[in-house]
Structure 1
């Protein structure tokens, strides 16, 4: 991966209305993606920078976004607190993650770990969401606040609940919505439909 200021700053503009914390986390994340992979004789510096990233972002700022996670451009982080992402997760471009959300694997009956989710492009994920297992969240999907997602989510659908289920299909991709308040109202409206059914029903 070639060093590029544009690469490091690729999430800056989309987070201009979030917080300085979001920008700092993503600046460090992108730079660690580069500096953490430097070959010898810079391997010692790479190890130090990875450790610094982990100390600042995980221990101090309370966000677990491993430096080696595959993330597309224009990631937006809202209310950066309590976010946990497994390093095997794949996140597409133009996605939004909110606080208290967990994206990762699960322990199988034989004691091994499952695969991790693959998140498509232009996906909106609400707060307090859990997405676990080797599942795919399709492009332009909306995950309502408080949802527990354990199955694939089709493209352009809104899912809510525990376990999450499709409540409707979007006619317009989120990537084409110009009004951010319209996107926010999508998440607010679906959160009112969430329920507390058992994950293992």
Structure 2
């Protein structure tokens, strides 16, 4: 039972400075992940989470999204995350952010982004397509990210471009010229 509660409330402490809304949505998200593994009639409870998060708080964070521990939602309002997205541990996502797939030229849909650990995402950010955001990256407010972001990079703009690398160990071949 203790492990269950630890799993459900794993994001609680890192969100103590954000809002009660973030804490409630994330603990409900984690509980829904567990409930989705139950047999059919019981897993219907996951729909209550979706109604709760989407209608009351305008946060689309499907229960089957893969998210590491200690996710921080800063002002989580107007957040949209595709269910096929993967988000690492210790990430921060701010309000009005969209993370998902895109429609390709042939009409099919791409896969969704894979976001590394310790990534900080500013407000009004759009991250689309089959891309990877490296560990310790920072995505500036208002950025439109449609290509890979290396580890330790700070990106901003539309389309997002690297404006700085925060580590001398980063791959300098990514720097825009």
| Aligned mate of 1:114, from 104, 110, 114 | 110
Q: 1:143 matched to which residue of 2?
A: 139
Runs of 4+ in 1 over 2 A off after TM superposition: none
1:86 to 74, 82, 87: 82
Structure 1 gaps, min length 5: 173-201
Q: Could you say which residue in structure 2 is the equivalent of 1:65?
A: 61
TM-score normalised per structure 1? 0.81
Which residue of 50, 55, 76 corresponds with 2:51? 55
Aligned residue pair count: 168
Q: Which residue matches 2:27?
A: 27
**1:171 deviation in Å?**
2.9
Cα distance in 2, alignment partners of residues 109 and 124 from structure 1: 30
String of CA shifts for 1:72-129, please: whole Å, max 9, x gaps.
0000000111000000000000000000000000011111110000000000000000
Q: How many Å separate the matches in 2 of 1:17 and 1:81?
A: 16
SS of equivalent to 1:127: coil
Structure 2 portions without partners, runs of 5+: 169-177
CA distance in 2, matches of 1:38, 1:44: 8
Q: Provide TM-score, normalisation by structure 2.
A: 0.92
